[in-house]
Each structure stands twice: as C-alpha cells, then as structure tokens.
Amino acid sequence: MKMFRTLPQDAMASVVVFLVALPLCMGIAIASGMPPAKGLITGIIGGLIVGFLSGSPLQVSGPAAGLAVLVFELVRTYGMAVLGPVLLLAGFIQLLAGLLRLGGWFRVTAPAVVSGMLAGIGILIVLSQLHVMFDAAPLASGLDNLLAFPGALMEAFSLTGEGNAVAGLIGIGTIASMWLWERYRPTALRFLPGALVGVSLATFLSLWLALPIKRVELPANLGDAIDWITPQSLASLADPQLLVAALALAFIASAETLLSAAAVDRMHSGPRSQFNRELSAQGIGNMLCGALGALPMTGVIVRSSANVQAGARGRGSAILHGLWLLALVSLLPSVLQSIPIASLGGVLVYTGFKLVDPKAIRNLGQYGRIPPLIYVSTALCIVATDLLTGVLVGFALTLLKLLWSASKIHTRLITTDTNRAELHLSGTATFLRVPRLAKVLADIEPSTHLRICMDQLHYIDHASIELLEDWGRSARTQGGSLEIVGEKELKHRVEGRQRAALAQP
C-alpha cells in the first residue's frame, strides 16, 4: 500500500500534529462547555477513523473552534444529552450529501460570509475564554461575557480572588509564550508548536510553585467519558429546533472542512482532495462522535497546515496522530491532569484572536465596499445574536448584493427630432433599477414619440414593463407615443401587454 511507502515521513509528521492537537482538543472541549475528555475522543476518532477514510489525505480532522460556539449554546440550552442525537443526525446528513455527490455545493459560500463567520466565532471564543483564563465560568452570550468581564477582573484581583488572579497570570503567560515562540523560535525547534510550549511552561511553573488553580479533570479510564446514545435521547430530535441545529451543524462543519481541504491542496503538490469522499468520511466520523457523546469534528486548517509543513506525504500521519492521542490518554492520564485550565483558556484566546484576521477586510476590499460590509455585519450579528442568525444574515446580504449586481442597466437617450427620441437599454431591467429608469423617463417630455431599443437588454421584469406602460399611457394622452424594438421575446412581451391595456374600456 502507498501508505506504507510514505510511513517514515508520516510518522515524523504525526508527532508534530499530535503535539498541536493535544492542547486544542482539550481547550475546544472546555470552550464548548464539555469535559476535556470529550475533545480527546473526537481527536482520536478524527485520526484513526476519518484519517483512514478521508478523501483529503493530508487533512487532519478533530474538534474545531468554529463549532465551539454552536455546541456551547446547544449544551447550555438543552443539556449535554441532546448533543449525541443532534450530531448523529448532522453526520448522517454529511454522509448522505457525500454519497449524493453534493460536496462541491457545500463550497459555494461567499468568502466574505466565511471570513465573517470565523471572525464572529473568534470574538465569541475570546470573550468566553477570558473568563476561563481567570478560573471563572463563561456566560451565555458574547455580549454578557463582554459586560461581565470588568467585574470578573476586579473580583480576581481583589483580596478574595487571589486564586483567580494567579490563574489569570498563568493564562496571560501562556499567550505571551505562544506569541514569543511563534516569533522567535529557533530553526532547529520549529517543529514544536507554540501552544504546546505555552501549556508546558505554564504546567511546569504551576506545579513547581504549587499554585492553587483549577486543572484538567480526566477519568482514569477513557471509557468512563463515553456516553452512549440511547433511544430516549433520540426521541429529542422530535423538537424542530434541534433539527434546525443539526442542519446548521452539518452545513457549517461541511463548509469548514471543504474550505480547509481546498486550502491544504494549495500547500502541496501531492494528491488532490476528493471532496465527496471527504464529506462522507466526515459524516461517518460525526456519527461515531454522536454515538459516543463526543464533540463534533471538522477538517481543521491549523493541524492540517502543521501536517504539511512537517513533511507528511500521506494519510498515515493523521492516523498515527490519533494513535498517539489514544496512547497518552490511556497510559499517562496524570500528565494531562496536571495542565491548568487557565492555560488552555489562554491557548483559545490566542486562537480566537487569529480567527479575527484584519487582512481579510483588506483583501475583500479589493472587490468593492460591499464584501467588507458583509464581513463586518456577519461577525457583529454572530456576536450580538447567535451563529446561525449571523450566517443567515451574511447569506441574505450576499444574495442582495448579487441581485443588485445582476440588475445593472445602462441607458442612452438620443434625441432625433424635436418631438422624437430613442432610448437604448442594455443589461438587465429589474425592480431594483426601476428608480433609475423612472428618472430617465421623467426627463422625457410626454409629447415625445419615444422609441425604446432593447437590442442589448438581456432581461426585463414585470415592474419595469409596468413602468414603461405607465409612461406610454400618459404619453398617448398628451400626443406622444411609445414604440418597442429589439429582441423578439422582449418585444412580444411588452407589446402583448400594451395591446391588452388598449383593449380595456
């Protein structure tokens, strides 16, 4: 098998991916309002199962920050028990979409909406994990977290909140370590990820000083963290809101996965991604995660890019990284139980800031003022309301922009005589351009014999026809007339309505 031919390179790369994935799996679980073990289970399934089935050999799957906000809201509102059934249904939708070869359609998402969605998610993660950094519980919404943070900060540094202040310093130290490592790391140690360096330093320091802060809680046996789905929990899918949540989860997970796969393809010259196979593999992975009560997964760009940069040549790296996660959790759980939760919160704050990419606004600005507006509107709406509403607002704005752009009409008025004129129309005449067309007609004397040329007009809708008819009726009462020339279908459409109007008493 080809996988065995590339095993030496993949084995080396898998260690790097494992080191990147370890803190992120636990941190994203905490950000989702779930126990850290749930994130580790998802990472293991993403490696061992999805890595083997994947249609994108160099992509790595696991718990994603992009879904943390959706899962947190779902768990907070309905309880942890509903996540399994919702995820099972979402995975089935992904599997079915892959079998029906719909993978390409999940990628039909405007870049402004995707970037805005990631920015909104990043802001929400930062606002929630700032509380986690101070060993406090995040609140329900982004705005609540923002408004409550000054009070939490004052309490942490008060006389009664000494432990919280220490935790906050550990979190801040983790962020500083990550930033410094990413900026100044030695070439010989470039394979070490900043998140691992920051968490390791924070863990060693907290143990050396015996700091009174919260640490990761893991069961002695990973099997104890599995919550098998039950027939009673499946009955919860009768709630229409949970069905909507499953659809939203399936769409967002699929879009993030396939956009990540496309980005990974641009990083290497190896085999290209098979998007439908990748979508089906993600569906199987999420169905397994749902059955075990774990977190949802996607293909994740951070771990995937680390995989490519570490020299991976095939799917062996993703599979082995899942094996290393399983081995560590099974054999050395005490190592993970020493990690400060505040340090993982710092990792997520750093990750959230990176999702809010200011360069995205500049890049979108090359295509006009509307894409940056969609980006900002989507992000702010996600922060002010919820993830699904923000994404729908982004899509609605994109469709409005598309309608506006697709309805461009150009007018050219030529006066051929004292009371004769020609109006040449080109482009598309829709209701969105009726005000402009009405302004042109208003400047033409009603006594004019107007000839409208539609040779270059691609389409005219009912609102525009009504406008021309109204002008024609008004002109006939004042000695003018209206004549339509141009494409047959457009001409017949307008003249037919004119004859019907004249036949009316």
| Domain range summary for the chain, segments of one domain joined by + | 2-357, 407-503
Taking CA atoms, 18 is separated from 260, 291, 301, 325, in Å, by 18, 24, 14, 7
pLDDT of residue 303: 87
Q: Is the pLDDT of residue 36 over 50?
A: yes
Distance CA 148, CA 158 (A): 16
Global pTM? 0.77
243 against 487, higher pLDDT: 243
Residue 51: pLDDT band (50, 70, 90) is very high
364 against 488, higher pLDDT: 364
**Tokens representing residue 433 in the block:** 């351009």
pLDDT of residue 496: 53
Q: What is the mean pLDDT of residues 154-182?
A: 82
Q: What is the mean pLDDT of the chain?
A: 86
Right CATH number for 407-503 from 2.60.120.10, 3.30.70.2740, 3.90.550.10, 3.30.750.24? 3.30.750.24
Q: Is the pLDDT of residue 489 over 50?
A: no
Report the C-alpha dihedral over residues 148, 80, 93, 401, rounded to 10 degrees. Answer: -10
Q: What is the mean pLDDT of residues 378-385?
A: 88
Q: What is the mean pLDDT of residues 456-480?
A: 86
What amino acid is encoded at 104 in this protein?
G
Residue-wise pLDDT tens digits, 253-276: 998 898 888 878 888 887 888 999
Q: Which of 59-68, 74-83, 325-334, 451-460 has the lowest mean pLDDT?
A: 451-460
Strand partners, 340: 215
190 against 103, higher pLDDT: 103
**Tokens representing residue 113 in the block:** 């909406």
Residue-wise pLDDT tens digits, 298-318: 998 888 888 888 888 889 999
Q: What is the mean pLDDT of residues 478-490?
A: 74
Q: What is the mean pLDDT of residues 176-180?
A: 94
Q: What is the mean pLDDT of residues 66-74?
A: 87
On whether the CB atoms of residues 151 and 370 are closer than 8 A, the answer is: no
Distance CA 323, CA 325 (A): 5
